[in-house]
Amino acid sequence: MNNAVHIVLDDTAMAAAGQGNILASRLIHRAHAESDWFLYAPACALVEADRARPGTAEHLASLPGITVLDLDLAAALAIARHKTWAAAHSHHAAQPTPDRPDGAIIATTTPHRWAGEPVRVLDLTP
């Protein structure tokens, strides 16, 4: 049985981590300290987080527990169908893959953004 936890940080979660959000900090710590916790930063969301809070991208990309997800062709095609690149790349990253058959949870400080979307959400609002 695979008990791995896969979490995608959206741009609001990344910005919150840069502002000292305790829940985001705990996720980052667990992803670094526990072998079955995985934290992902979609590149497009990372760009938006850095626009909102300069320095966020460099800081998060340097953390050992975070995997930055590149914008590949499948992600680019998914982005074309959404309003913002950040939300689209996060949504795409949360979808099931062979490595993550159950998909991933989207961590966010704006859970209402994901209402009606077929994704699981982790509210990081303190």
The mean predicted confidence, pLDDT, of the chain is: 91
Is the pLDDT reported for residue 79 higher than 90? no
Amino acid 99: pLDDT: 86
Q: How confident is the model at residue 23 (pLDDT cuts 50, 70, 90)?
A: very high
With tokens 């609002």, the residue in question is: 125
| pTM, rounded to two decimals | 0.92
Joined tokens for residue 125: 């609002």
Residue 94, C-beta contacts closer than 8 angstroms, at least 6 positions apart:
8, 103, 104, 105, 106, 119, 120
Query: Is 15 within 8 Å of 95 (Cβ atoms)?
Result: no
| pLDDT score at 4 | 93
User: Percent of the chain at pLDDT above 90?
Assistant: 75
DSSP 70: P
